[in-house]
Amino acid sequence: MKIKLDECLPGELANLLASCGHEVDTVPQQGLQGSSDAVLWSAAQQEQRFLITTDLDFSDIRRYQPGKHAGVLLLRLHKEGKHSLLSYLKWLLSEYPLDDWRACLVIATDHKVRVKLPE
């Protein structure tokens, strides 16, 4: 799966995702750090990349309607930090195939994973 990691996430997540066979680009690698959500969204969609972020703005299904994009995974963990994110994403990847979430909005918290499917 083609994935774009937002700049709010540690670069080590790219290595973890790549080790699982995903093609990963990061916002800093592309020189997009500090860009608006609109610019980031446009880049992700032009490249047909599944966006992984912690930015709540991408949870607005009126603006980012499931089925009209490559997909979004919004990570909302209580404990922040590189170690927590890496540990959580390792668990998430072991439990859920990301390919099943194409075109979906997925909100992953410490306690549950909610998937908004395309209508």
Q: What tokens were used for 16?
A: 């973890």
User: Are the C-beta atoms of residues 64 and 73 closer than 8 Å to each other?
Assistant: no
Provide, rounded to the nearest whole percent, the portion of the chain with pLDDT above 70. 100
What are the pLDDT digits (tens) for 89-115? 999 999 999 999 999 999 999 999 999
Domain that holds residue 68: 2-116
Provide, rounded to the nearest whole percent, the portion of the chain with pLDDT above 90. 95
3-state secondary structure of 44: helix
The list of the chain residues with pLDDT below 70 reads none
Helix (H), strand (E), coil (C) string for 49-105: CEEEECCHHHHCCCCCCCCCCCCEEEEECCCCCHHHHHHHHHHHHHHCCHHHHCCCE
